[in-house]
A and B are shown apart, each in its own frame.
Chain A
Amino acid sequence: MDILASLGDGFVTAMTFQNLALALLGTFLGTMMGALPGLGPSNGVAILIPLAFSLGLGATPALILLTSVYYGAMYGGRISSILLNIPGDEPAMMTCLDGYPMAQKGLAGEALSLSGIASFVGAFIATWGLILFAPILVKFALLFGPAEYFALFALAFATLGGVSSTNQAKAAFAAMLGLGLSVIGVDTQTGVPRLTFGEVHLYDGLDFLVAIVGLFALSEVFIFLEHHHGNSAAGGRSIKVGRLTPPWSMLKSTFGSMLRASGLGFIAGVLPGAGASLGSFLAYSVEKRLVDREGTFGKGDPRGVAAPEAGNNAASGGALVPMLALGVPGSGTTAVLLAVLLSLNITPGPLLFQNNADVVWGLIAALFIANFMLLAMNIPMVGIFTRVLLIPPRILMPVVAMISFVGIYGISGSTFDLLVMIGFGVLGWVLRKLDVPLVPIILGTLLGNTMENNLRRAVTISNGDYWTLVGSPLAIGLWTVAIVGFVLPLFIGRIVKARMHERGDEEGAITD
């Protein structure tokens, strides 16, 4: 009952005119960003953070705007998967498998509305999962001391490469690069400058927002320049949608798939190192095993559209659980959302639910509202978003670049930060070419200071005894999971990745 009362308070917070308007704006922008190939959930949210921040939005409104974008992008990704056979973002890859064949059979409208409903079911179930599961995790997390937190962060980094990672050395390199960047600046505990080489601008440390926008948004612009992709994804193809309601029989036959996929997706989202892409992959492959008796999967089976869409939306909700309850994100976009919390001076983790209960429950209520908005937006109004696919990158990408510059300039007003951002953009391009994942870098810059503080606190408490780091069963357990999580992909990563990438995706370094 406690939960329902908190949720009620949350709805009171979320139901102000400003918050509803922000949720509407967020869901609209999110769906658009998801639909456009080249702009995914993580870089979409990344561009908007500095703006939300410099516009002076409060904590709850800013979070509502950005998580609506996050949920929206998960809906939007399916549109170009179904209509063009090009995933709008990575999690939508599996939707191509049956969505595009359905569209070819002239069932594009049915596929779009069915996947819209599947997205809704997935997100709805996951939001309930968040409500029920996060408080349990919080209670568990209250048992953590500094040594356990240090181990938990290590676990996050070890598993972030994900089970689909083929090169763990590169994932580790990325994490260490990020942690290394976080060291730059004045040491918080002793006040000595570290690795600043006398540059005054660096005393405050590198702003992680600058790194995020550079790595995610600007590097995308460079990728487009490299390939000279100037024309719209739709090319000259005409897009016909047709009837926008799925027949009852189709809904009925896919409902079981949606429920199973939502459950699986949610679990994949909560687990470290999985995220939405794996959620949709798991949902699709399990469903194929279970119900594909006539071998219709891959040839336009509605269940093959419903399952991955429910799976990826459920996973995106599930991924919020560890981010909010532990302060440790398990996927790219939630890492970016963590940056939002940190720049608003809110420390996620168990204390968030006590100290900022209004923020948490307001956010959760807003997720419910946003989900209904998205359902309304994505079924009757899907036509608007199909037109978005006609915007060519030669117009879109310059605008993306300029909005990135404006956002960063708006925060600090310093041209030094803009130059650093360009530097990160180039770095991001090179690293994506070399197949180095970018998310661990971001997570490193975000969590580096907290991780180090926990290390130092733990060792100080035990009077300089480093064995304290593995001094409790809980810590040992976390270290074990971390090591298994890091080593396992060495053996199975290649297989999983090969299956997930059967349908090619060139620069997949931005996962989620």
Chain B
Amino acid sequence: MSDRIFGAFGLMLAIFFAWGTLQIQESFLSDTVGPKTFPLLIASLLGLSSFAILVRPGPEPVWPSLGRFVEILAAVVVMVLYVEALDILGFVFATTLATTYLSWRLQSPLWQAGLVGVGTAVGIYVIFHLLLGLSLARGPFGF
């Protein structure tokens, strides 16, 4: 069933891709092939392979339980929040929080997760920023 949904989704993607390609405004100075041919070729092969997946689905993957789904979704939300927080809190604080969360969800006890968080944030800051001079996000305190 998963593969059938996946195939149907792929077909829609191919149609969307072809539609998007047809929206391209061609300039008057174009080569013989033009900017649309290659994307259209891809769209048709994408559609063809999606159709094949739809018609002959493979074995059903092992999907995680609802709880595990929520787990992954929560991790995605945390990562997005982390990215948004980088410019507000600065690298060290944002990274500490995000790493602590991830480590905690991978079943570290909370105090250990906290240590991993602080260690990772400070470690990366020292090695990559202070020693190697990589630019990291600055927060209100400058780090």
Residues from chain B with a CB closer than 8 A to the CB of A226 are 64, 68, 71-72
- The yes or no answer to A393 lying at the interface (CB within 8 A) is yes
Checking B53, B106, B137 against A173 with a beta-carbon cut-off of 8 angstroms, the contacting residue is B53
A409 in contact with B136 (CB, 8 Å):
yes
The verdict on A237 contacting chain B, using a C-beta distance below 8 Å, is no
Say yes or no: B35 contacts A399, CB within 8 Å. no
Whether B35 and A405, one on each chain, are in contact in the complex, defined by CB atoms closer than 8 angstroms, is no
Closest to A171 in B: B49
- A434 close to B99 (CB less than 8 A): no
Interface of A is mostly: helix
- Bound CA–CA A190/B39 (angstroms): 14
Residue from A222, A393, A434 having most chain B Cβ neighbours under 10 A: A434
- Beyond A180-B46, A394-B103, A434-B2, whether A410 also contacts B136 by CB under 8 A is yes
Is the interface on chain A under 10, 10 to 19, 20 to 34, or 35 or more residues? 35 or more
Q: Using Cβ atoms and an 8 Å threshold, which residues of chain B touch A452?
A: 38
Q: Which of A308-361 contact B (CB under 8 A)?
A: none
The contact string, 1 if C-beta is below 8 Å from chain B, for chain A 440-470, is 0000000000011001100110011000000
Quick one: which of B2, B20, B39 contacts A197, CB cutoff 8 A?
A: B20
B contact patch SS:
helix
Q: Which residue from chain A places its CB closest to the CB of B46 in the assembled complex?
A: A176
Q: A434-B3, A460-B33 are in contact. Are A402 and B120 (CB under 8 A)?
A: yes
Shortest Cβ distance from B77 into A: residue? A422
- List the one stretch of A74-82, A287-295, A376-384, A412-420 in contact with chain B: A412-420
For the complex of A and B, list the 3 residue pairs with the smallest distance between their C-beta atoms, beginning with the closest: A230-B107, A394-B106, A169-B52
Cβ A176 vs Cβ B108 within 8 A: no
Q: How large is the interface on B (under 10, 10 to 19, 20 to 34, 35 or more residues)?
A: 35 or more
Smallest CB separation, B51 vs chain A (Å)? 8
Contacting residue for A222 out of B49, B52, B72, CB 8 A: B72
Given A398-B98, A402-B121, A406-B124, 17 more A-B residue pairs with CB atoms under 8 Å apart are A54-B134, A173-B53, A176-B45, A179-B42, A180-B43, A190-B27, A192-B24, A194-B39, A225-B68, A228-B68, A228-B71, A230-B107, A410-B134, A419-B83, A425-B76, A463-B32, A464-B32
Answer whether A195 and B21 are a contact pair too, CB < 8 Å, given A173-B46, A406-B134: yes
Pick from A190, A221, A425: contact of B102, CB below 8 A: A221
